[in-house]
């Protein structure tokens, strides 16, 4: 899902510069069909290629990948939580989940 937004931003930046997909691909030494697939959200790029695209299009990497980083962080946080919970027995797990629920209620009441 994030790839669609990244592709849209790359397309918008490319068009703003007046570049064709072919021109951008030539500058990056890649096939123009790959640029098309990236812009349509069907393919992702490596980080190094994404940096090169950003340089050519005069946009920041932050702008291009702004939706991906929070999703990636959330996946890491969820994985860490799963790892911690897997080390507990059933009673301990129920206690931790109860404390998390209480914390969320507390935070939402403020």
Which residue has better confidence, 110 or 11?
A: 11
Residues 41-64: pLDDT tens digits? 999 898 899 999 999 999 999 889
Express each pLDDT in 75-86 by its tens digit. 677 788 888 889
Give dist(CA 42, CA 34) in Å, integer: 9
Do 87 and 102 have their domain in common?
yes
Residues 27 and 54 in one domain: yes
Tally of domains within the chain: 2
74 and 55 inside one domain: no
Considering the entire predicted model, what is its pTM? 0.62
User: Residue range 59-70: average pLDDT?
Assistant: 80
C-alpha closest to that of 57 among 109, 97, 28, 14: 14
Is 73 a residue whose pLDDT tops 80?
Answer: no
CB neighbourhood size of 21 (10 A) = 19
Task: Check whether residue 6 and residue 59 sit in a common domain.
Answer: yes
Q: Residue 57 belongs to a domain with what CATH number?
A: 1.10.260.40
61 and 73 both lie in a single domain: no
pLDDT of residue 54: 95
Domain co-membership, 6 together with 57: yes
* Rg of the chain in Å (alpha carbons): 21
| Cβ–Cβ under 8 Å, residues 38 and 4 | no
Range(s) of the domain holding residue 11: 2-65
Q: Are residues 59 and 101 in the same domain?
A: no
């Amino acid at each position: 899902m994030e790839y669609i937004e990244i592709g849209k931003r790359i397309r918008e930046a490319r068009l703003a510069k007046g570049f064709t997909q072919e021109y951008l691909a030539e500058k990056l030494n890649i096939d123009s069909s790959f640029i098309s697939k990236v812009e349509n959200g069907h393919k992702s790029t490596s980080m190094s290629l994404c940096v090169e695209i950003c340089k050519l299009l005069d946009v920041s990497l932050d702008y291009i990948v702004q939706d991906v980083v929070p999703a990636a962080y959330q996946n890491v946080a969820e994985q860490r939580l799963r790892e911690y919970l897997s080390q507990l027995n059933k009673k301990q797990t129920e206690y931790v989940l109860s404390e998390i629920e209480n914390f969320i209620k507390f935070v939402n009441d403020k």
